[in-house]
Structure 1
């Protein structure tokens, strides 16, 4: 089995990646800025400790991303990791479906990181996934106590479970580099109205949802489902199953998330 380094290994997705890799018998290193949080202490922003964490590994999964700063630090962090990863056989970068269609700063930075990986010369796989269940839950939680929740109910999403994505990542990183892997989506494409209806049925809030019509390129892209991949309904856990399994305290991502 391989020795694999995971960045972002203590996050919502990363902890599942670490678990799946260990279940498969791999030796896993976890890079964290906080001493004791992972197996190796290092800072991707400065490069401190990164070379030591990478030394001797067979592969790297780069799942670290700072959405609270709209991915601004991601560029430097990815550059530092790639600089230290010249000798690895496989680097897997986790990205997002449809990012070239949305002019968000976070998405632009993710796209720039993808290009950096492609141009690095490091054997790699880029896996794009659709929106995590946790992100949709965080957005709905933020409006559920309002008397009336104004939502763009015609926006389309394809929420996916982080354990499902982690299983795919574990499969890919243990195989040969693909360059760009097939997109990975949840089991169903749903409108925000349908997502909110399921949420309300489990939590009895928000009490009322009102559609807000949003103009512009971004809104058109969401209505068209440019952030989805209906030909790749690979995930297993549905949105309804996710909400039903944890209706009282569905995981909330800390900080202020970017648009999903």
Structure 2
């Protein structure tokens, strides 16, 4: 039986992956900065400050690297890679983002640099680039449309995906031999932020005056030109409307 480590196991994607592993009666260890509960399947480590990593990764066969840091993602990934032995029989499965090589956004550049670190490491890997989760876009709208008048970059084109589908794809990829490749996965439909905001307000029963917040330059061209989308659609996942209808957080 494979020995599995999950970084970012307490985040939304990590929790979705854990549910799949539990359903299949697969044991795992969650990497976390703290272990307040004293659970036996938690390895205390800190990727950014490079603490406890070697012990956590020792003897692992599969490592799901789902943890991220807006400012130090590359540094954290580098610390993880350095703690792993290149000759070890391990499969590193890394979650990334569709469009990071075409969107001039600082965090995306961090993720792209992390991908390059993985490719140079000599460690067998699979990278999965996903489009934005439904929850992520919902959080954006909740903040930008909190008040009666909201500013929203209406022309951004996104392809929201069900987080459970991404977790399932990560799991399926981990069952295969690592081919040192990058795959993509996206939602079933692409929409503008304007279209999604209208449906969001309808489902949330909110009335807002939404004013367009323009994004200029190369970043705007990338956001408006569909660089956050992919042809690799997860066709059986929930659409934006269906996800909103099923969202228990309303």
- Residue 35 (str. 1) matches residue 29 (str. 2): no
TM-score by length of 2: 0.91
Q: Within 2, Cα distance between the matches of 1:82 and 1:65?
A: 14
Q: Within 1, Cα distance between the matches of 2:44 and 2:189?
A: 39
- Residue 61 (str. 1) matches residue 56 (str. 2): no
Please give the residue correspondences for 1:147-158 in structure 2 after superposition, counting only pairs within 5 Å. Answer: 147-158=148-159
Q: Deviations over 1:165-194 (max 9, x none)?
A: 000001101211132232100111011111
1:163 is displaced (CA, Å) by 0.9
Equivalent position of 1:219 in the other structure:
220
Gaps of 5+ in 1: 251-260
TM-score by length of 1: 0.88
Q: Deviations over 1:174-219 (max 9, x none)?
A: 2111322321001110111111011111112242223344321111
Q: Within 1, Cα distance between the matches of 2:162 and 2:236?
A: 7
2:49 to 46, 51, 55: 46
Q: Within 1, Cα distance between the matches of 2:171 and 2:147?
A: 40
1:9 is displaced (CA, Å) by 0.2
Gaps of 5+ in 2: none
May I ask how many residue pairs the two structures share in their alignment? 245
Please tell me the root mean square deviation across aligned C-alpha atoms, in Å: 1.7
Q: Within 1, Cα distance between the matches of 2:79 and 2:216?
A: 39
Q: Within 2, Cα distance between the matches of 1:213 and 1:33?
A: 39
Moved more, 227-236 or 189-198: 227-236
Are the structure 2 counterparts of residues 173 and 231 from structure 1 closer, same or farther at C-alpha, using a change threshold of 3 Å? closer
1:132 is displaced (CA, Å) by 0.8
Q: Within 1, Cα distance between the matches of 2:220 and 2:207?
A: 22
Q: Within 2, Cα distance between the matches of 1:126 and 1:136?
A: 23
